[in-house]
Structure 1
Amino acid sequence: MPRSVRVRPEFILEVKSALPRNGYIRQTDLAEHLQISQSTISSFLNGRAVDYLNFREICRVLELEWQDIADLTTDLTFESRKNIFSSPLVSTTEENNKQTQEIFSSHSLEHPSGQVPLDSPFYIKRSPIEERCYEQIHKPGALIRIKAPRQMGKTSLLARVVNESHSQGDCTVILDFQLAAQEIFVNSDKFLRWFCASVGLALNIPNKLSEYWDLAEMLGSSMACKAYFEEYLLPTINKPLTLGLDEVDKVFEYPEIYRDFFGLLRALHEEGKRREIWKKLRLVIVHSTEVYVPLDINQSPFNVGLSIELPEFNNKQVLDLAQRYKLDLDETKVEKLMMLVGGHPFLIRFSLYHIANKNVTLTQILQNPTSSSSIYADHLRRQSLILTQKPELANAMKNVIINKSAKLPTVTKFKLHSLGLVKLQGNSVLPSCNLYNQYLQIHL
């Protein structure tokens, strides 16, 4: 059995969802329970290698079958370093020095899935976006809206904005709505209770919902939620609170909930313009698609604050990332890669990761990118599966592929855009990259 084990990439989302399902709102909660470092928990959740015994213990607590999700490939972190440093020739021969450098370089390559860690050398800034967000988050009552399709770097930017706030001494909480259990979305009352309880738990504040929720019977759940923050949570922490709300478009699917919840967020933001207690609340709202649900213009949080739409990487940024992977790719080679996958951050990083790991060459990638042996095979199958499960989206995507430039119903095109499958040009909808176009021509 190898000394270190990692979660297989296809199980990372399942592993992350096991955290709140088992009562751990934050990574630190699980780390404290197991008495291991938060960095180990973060590595486990993001598919990086951790000690075998820690791996099994985390799986036990999260009620996961460790054999089903484990990649048992031996990690160089433990065995290869040990072998190198046990040799007396390591520091005296050029060959061993080169081997050591290669091993450290290989270990530093992060599998490109999920959030890019805060200390990662592979995070590419899209200036001036980060700087604008950092400036905004320090303003009283700030509201930042981050929008982009899946795997474009929204959560990575959110983490950095929240970390910027934390570095100034503010309290910070991130809630991912995709990880909320389905039963939370039964009605507005239950959802807002969960919202208050989750924030309180993340702040390590005792739950006192029962003392405040009597108001719900007379004034409604939104007023009870507002009172809980105003009279209990914010006064208790006695410092600014930055609240990151990730994947809020999950709420779009529930009409009874989204009207109350988004109206509440807008109301709290407006309160921050008038009252000191609410100036302490800063909101960062992250979503994958355009707001296609009907909201009163005066009750929507999506038309106020700082709006950020993440663009794809440009040629210069892809070249920069290639250099960080220590790859010898010139502008011509970068252009060839971008002709296939565009500037999509995940697909670019995924490609460069496999080239740097010497799993494949750029020439091999370009020869047959949609084959079952391609590095993109699993990713493409997942995208196809999503469409298979939603026939209306599959039919719309067929229309896009066949007609090259299609006009679709508003909600449908926004949903396809949120998946990253299409790009919008005026009223027309186009495949977002040649890779998807080639694959879906065959498999739809």
Structure 2
Amino acid sequence: MGRSLKVSQEYISRVKSSLQRNGYPSQQALADDAGFSLSTVKNFLNGKPIDHLNFIELCEKLGLDWQEISKTELISDDISLENSPFITGTPITHPRYFFGREKEVKRLFNLLKRHPLQNAAIIGKRRSGKTSLLHYLKTITTTPVNLLRPAQKSDWLRYPEHYQWVFVDFQDSRMASQEYLLRHILEGLEISLSGDCNLDRFMDIVSSKLNTFSIILMDEIGTALDRYSQLDDDFWSSLRSLGTNQTRGKLAFILAAHESPIELSKNTGHDSPFFNIFGYTTVLGALTETEALELINSSPISFAQEDIEWILERSQCHPFLLQILCREKLWSLEDGEIAEDWKEEGLREINPYLYLL
């Protein structure tokens, strides 16, 4: 939990009017001067929680008494994300805010709802939603229905309580240590091990004690192959043996990467048969128009039809670009803006990510 501050409702008009009074022609000008993102400034001006130190600095820039206009809140990262209708720049971790990928989700769960469990690879460019999809698989079947969208499907598994999920983020440099990684996996599998944790002991204890259907989700595995010398071919081959021969069909791997596992192994000089066990590969691209419209229509303030059509055209239904353009439109509505400046801002924001199209 972290302490955040927000402008109390009765002071929002006063805070917004202080912008030009202090020589800032736009919100972007204030953001540039303070060294913050535009989203931080927009949240501040619209009475949404931001970090308390950032709040104080913005008040100083605008000549405001931060103690007078502020309201303190204790918020967690999950609550912050749940309060954000459109999420950009960070993976979506709560299934309520994950849209689309229905075909991919169905096929992935088809691999996991029958015995033996089967392995899969999720391939896509950066910002294509690979990490969000991994989180969705991990959480959707056990999230209470009242925390999901109306009619959002969650019954992908008949007995979800009989499954264990382990999320491994290879961008976490601690995973470069073989022992740290093995202990992380054991913790996720709820298997205790005292003393040293080497590969042989890990294999022995998992093969003898794993009695629950278990899925190990590996995000950004390319980083591990390219940088982590302790995760050598012997390590990967042992995981293959564990999944195919030692756990009676109760263990599966789902990995996310920029290219296929076989190509990744070749390009990084690895030669383990582990990278041949992924019988299903899905490549993430654009959403269907129906899925894109569901995301757009989740806005707490409805968009005009002509704006919806513009967003669909400019984003080409790619979820990351959709999120950015929807966010800019929603902010303009919350600010009471009538002009089309949000379109210009949206195009500027998505320009670095046009490689996704």
TM-score range, shorter chain: 0.5 to 0.7
1:281 aligns with 2:254: no
1:323 to 297, 311, 334: 297
User: 2:344, 2:256 → 1: CA distance?
Assistant: 37
1:117 to 73, 93, 104: 93
Question: What secondary structure does 2:102 align onto?
Answer: coil
- Which residue in the other structure is 2:221 paired with? 248
Instruction: Give per-residue Cα distances to partners, 1:4-58, cap 9 Å, x unaligned.
Output: 459x997xxxxxxxxxxxxxxxxxxxxxxxxxxxxxxxxxxxxxx88x9xx8xxx
Contact 1:141/1:279 (<8 A) preserved: yes
Q: For residue 308 of structure 1, report the CA deviation from its aligned partner.
A: 1.6
Contact 1:315/1:335 (<8 A) preserved: no
User: 1:202, 1:288 → 2: CA distance?
Assistant: 25
Question: What secondary structure does 1:238 align onto?
Answer: coil
1:366 to 327, 330, 343: 343
- Which residue in the other structure is 1:192 paired with? 178
Question: What secondary structure does 1:286 align onto?
Answer: strand
- Which residue in the other structure is 2:201 paired with? 228
Contact 1:142/1:269 (<8 A) preserved: no
Q: For residue 297 of structure 1, report the CA deviation from its aligned partner.
A: 7.7
Distance 1:263 1:3, change over 3 A: closer
- Which residue in the other structure is 1:206 paired with? 192
Distance 1:240 1:343, change over 3 A: same
User: 2:345, 2:327 → 1: CA distance?
Assistant: 18
1:135 aligns with 2:110: yes
Amino acid of the structure 2 residue aligned with 1:364: D
- Which residue in the other structure is 1:43 paired with? none
Which sections of structure 2, spanning at least 5 residues, go unmatched? 7-34, 38-47, 60-65, 74-81, 142-156
2:166 to 173, 176, 190: 173
Q: For residue 160 of structure 1, report the CA deviation from its aligned partner.
A: 2.5
Instruction: Give per-residue Cα distances to partners, 1:73-116, cap 9 Å, x unaligned.
Output: 99xxx9699xxxxxxxxxxxxxxxxxxxxxxxx94635434232
2:238 to 254, 261, 264: 264
User: 1:159, 1:71 → 2: CA distance?
Assistant: 35
TM-score by length of 1: 0.51
Instruction: Give per-residue Cα distances to partners, 1:150-203, cap 9 Å, x unaligned.
Output: 22221222122223478232222111110123xx54xxxxx3322211112334
Instruction: Give per-residue Cα distances to partners, 1:334-359, cap 9 Å, x unaligned.
Output: 45334434333122112212312335
Contact 1:234/1:280 (<8 A) preserved: no
Contact 1:355/1:362 (<8 A) preserved: no
Amino acid of the structure 1 residue aligned with 2:167: I
Contact 1:197/1:209 (<8 A) preserved: no
Instruction: Give per-residue Cα distances to partners, 1:183-238, cap 9 Å, x unaligned.
Output: x54xxxxx33222111123345434352x64xxxxxxxxxxx2x434421354453
**How do 1:16-35 residues align onto structure 2 when only pairs under 5 Å count?**
none
Amino acid of the structure 2 residue aligned with 1:150: R
Distance 1:356 1:112, change over 3 A: same
RMSD across aligned positions (CA): 4.1
- Which residue in the other structure is 2:314 paired with? 340
Question: What secondary structure does 2:120 align onto?
Answer: strand
User: 1:228, 1:208 → 2: CA distance?
Assistant: 10
Instruction: Give per-residue Cα distances to partners, 1:294-328, cap 9 Å, x unaligned.
Output: 16787142563221212212333222211111433
Query: Between the two proteins, what is the percent identity of the paired residues?
Result: 15
User: 1:71, 1:278 → 2: CA distance?
Assistant: 58
Distance 1:354 1:368, change over 3 A: closer
TM-score by length of 2: 0.61
User: 2:276, 2:339 → 1: CA distance?
Assistant: 41
Contact 1:124/1:317 (<8 A) preserved: yes
1:155 aligns with 2:155: no
Contact 2:215/2:252 (<8 A) preserved: yes
Aligned residue pair count: 274
